[in-house]
A and B are shown apart, each in its own frame.
Chain A
């Protein structure tokens, strides 16, 4: 069972308290109704599914109930870092080799 640090509770808590909520930093257009079919496809359907570092959303559903962002390595399952919803994608990852 993974330990995940909730950036709101500022604590590492067991995976059981969390729920994954898909890829992070996908922007919902302010004019979504006017989006082209292609743009909507990219927004709604297309995901990176990388091997390695992924930016994703989690929710501390059985805790503070807040959504937040996490950087995780999909190969090792290791969490590189977590940060609050709305904060920008970190420019540099701690201890990142690539």
Chain B
């Protein structure tokens, strides 16, 4: 069954393979190999969308990636509703469902079209001018309404169920574009044996050979030659052929990003296929063979459905076998539209008239058109199109004015000339140059190792294109290290062009009837609804640079990035400014060339694969005990261990009380651990930490503070000296990588004379803290070779021995203020040792405790957490840690910084304790502190709460705070103003439990 506009015998699709599809709930039949656009046109459907601002009816402008109008929503299921798909690119599959966008309630009757009538309100700069006041209304009123009314499609409301692949690739020659130029370049490069990748955005290679019926290469029709050449390239081991692949970004050092559409064209993609594949290619040389894009004519109502580029109509006919109308008008300023008229005429379509702006052009295509009996009007303009939902007529007038004539048509083909596609060249930071004679920008100065060939280089004619491309491909291969197997220009397998088409020139800017002084809607940028008048207005309102004109009018700023509109917009601005085009300048092209899905960029890095999850050796045990976990960086840490019926508060209270009464077990494995080894290890430690280390005896530990050179606290941790030349350094959980980086930096670049080795051992040692009065009794039965008495193993000491038969570094240390130990064992034994200790602990009524209780217990003792109680602007003195700074030292990182005038001045914020007057009130961490709660707003804030908890052991709330001059305010009352009233607090010391520290040996 033939669709009404499918022409028997025309095109390359096999009529046998039909595919049914729906558009706006209406069913149609197309043919496999169609795009959605060609299938709709075959059914006589031109109206496919409404424009962004004026909601004007729109049809297809093009047959390719430059399409500004025909954006549709493709719906596979609830989660797969892809908006803004260009119908000219979407391949048809059986069962495809597409909907139009940006219309309500229906495509033919759109309420938003009132914007078209009210269009004087919507002129250039409208958004900037109208929605300026009041400011608050922008967020609450204007923006949501504008977005709702405009909206390009609807985003899916469920997570994307598809998966996206990614590949890195390297090659000597990367050819971007698979038309005659790209194929010729790839053939030449491939023959030298180097690795070649050739990519093209279309499903089939051939580029403009798809529509150039006159092209013949190596004795074949051009398109057939392209298929043969691609088959030959595919068969070569050193060549990768990527169809449906768009090079969207050209980055530094010949790094090119491409997206391959793997399964969007399939009826049932299946789980094994990715939807898209991101290729990140590093190429020795890049050959740009990106072709040229035809421009439309800028005249009144040139956006009516049925008005399209001449090359598009030709593609629909010669490739898809579809006539875009039955009675077609042509409006042109160059030769190429004649070829379209000729092809259509030969296929039986009536050509109502060709209207050519040029006065007396001559050439073979003009003669041929005339010979076919087509009416040709030179020196005339189409000043207006008739019709609304579909073009119905064109009004023709001599270009310098005079009598009008209205010609009935059902389609108009336009060609204002061809714009070289310099997008990727421009992205590579190459500078374009304006050719005055042909009035086009072509590649000028190159910034990278690439070369442009064919139409994108401003080379006219198939013969010249193939000649240039073949030579460039061979040279690129040679320059990139190819063997040069004796290829010389004109020899080897260089394709021979038997016949080709050639055209250049044309016009830029508004056509007669849409020029200065007119107010007609002659569209320059279809997607953003920018007219010639808008651009003139922008210039009149003071925008004199093309970058300003672009932003003021939004010309070229839609998803098509102005592929058809940039040159017209520039020419109109230049004319209005009365300046030559190069002086007004071309806007810079930026990636992506065409829109790229988030999925293809994200690839596999989503959900659990977004970031690694780190689990400690006891994770499984804790999970089985019902622990609640919290995320600390990439780590999962047990937060608290609720028993049946306990909430977090109850669990933490019980854990904290039990630790101080008997004992608790805590997994401290996430602490960073670095082994500092070598003859100069102590010297290195002296330079990296504020404390003195030379005299620390092996077997003893010290609490160390690390500063940055600016004198502020960077990290802290307990350091054990295992031997004269070996330190076991611990860091904060979050600080481990940056502390290692910091140490390496100084070791490698400032103190390279020191003979020291640094090794991260965080993952190698599991750490089980056993804290509380019963801790020694729990550990002792399992330990071999270590005297556990207070005399032999005092607080802040470390011994190596065995526990449960495995090696241990046993630290006597405490982050709770109780007698405590930290049992380091090789991580593989972590869970087994934990379970053995747990079994012992059970005999004494010990508890497992999590990070929340750890925080409460350390706060009860006034032990700080770097990054919580300090914020990168706290000195050791501010934190009350002067005792940890070696007074006799002459150098360490931060020694000069912390002596800066501002850092030793009076009135700095100092860490203190806070007790709320009402013991039951727990302060909010981060809450601001003031001296006088009755002062006028804004109040003078003198500090903030850094840590705050309910302490069951104290029977009250406790807090730490940074307060200006805090240590001079002991006993004073300060105030914490909160939304529900002001809280009175008393400044205290930082230790809330066991001020004398007797429990460390208790």
Contacts and interface: CB of A to CB of B under 8 A. Distances in A.
Interface string B394-437: 00000000000000000000000000000000000100000000
Contacts of A77: 252
Given A2-B252, A32-B896, A76-B447, A37 B748 contact: no
Given A32-B896, A33-B895, A67 B253 contact: no
B94 interface: no
B717 to A, nearest CB: 22
A67 B901 contact: no
Interface in A61-89: 61, 65-67, 76-77, 85-86
Contacts of B243: none
Contacts of A61: 741
B890 A33 contact: yes
B760 to A, nearest CB: 10
A1 B752 contact: no
Contact of A1 (B255, B744, B896): B255
B819 to A, nearest CB: 39
Given A1-B251, A37-B900, A37-B901, A44 B709 contact: yes
Nearest to B748: A67
A44 B710 CA distance: 8
A33 B896 contact: yes
Contacts of B578: none
A17 interface: no
A28 B745 contact: no
B749 interface: yes
A11 B723 CA distance: 38
A38 B744 CA distance: 28
A40 B900 contact: yes
Interface string B744-784: 11001110100000000000000000000000000000000
Contacts of A44: 709-710, 897
A86 B752 contact: yes
B890 A57 contact: no
Contacts of B750: 28
A9 interface: no
A62 B900 CA distance: 36
A34 B631 CA distance: 44
Contacts of A57: 749
A12 B252 CA distance: 14
A35 B897 CA distance: 10
Contacts of B895: 32-33
B994 interface: no
Interface residues of B, number: 25
Contacts of B749: 57, 67, 85-86
Contacts of B927: none
Contacts of B252: 1-2, 77
A21 interface: yes
Contacts of B891: 32-33
Nearest to A12: B253
A67 B280 CA distance: 27
B573 to A, nearest CB: 28
A2 B253 contact: yes
Contacts of A85: 748-749, 752
A21 B709 CA distance: 14
B121 interface: no
A57 B255 CA distance: 23
Interface in A22-53: 28, 32-33, 35, 37, 40, 44
Nearest to A77: B252
B899 interface: yes
A33 B744 contact: no
A65 B744 contact: yes
B445 to A, nearest CB: 12
A93 interface: no
Nearest to B429: A76
B896 A35 contact: yes
A3 B253 contact: yes
Nearest to B889: A33
Contacts of B253: 1-3
A76 B253 CA distance: 11
Contacts of A33: 890-891, 895-896, 899
Interface of B: 251-253, 255, 280, 282, 429, 447, 709-710, 741, 744-745, 748-750, 752, 890-891, 895-897, 899-901
Nearest 5 pairs of A and B residues by beta carbon:
A67-B748, A32-B896, A33-B895, A3-B253, A85-B749
Given A19-B741, A33-B891, A85-B748, 6 more contacts: A35-B896, A40-B900, A67-B748, A67-B749, A76-B429, A77-B252
21 contacts: A1-B253, A3-B253, A3-B282, A21-B745, A33-B895, A33-B896, A33-B899, A35-B896, A37-B900, A40-B897, A44-B709, A44-B710, A44-B897, A57-B749, A59-B744, A65-B744, A66-B748, A67-B745, A67-B749, A85-B748, A86-B752
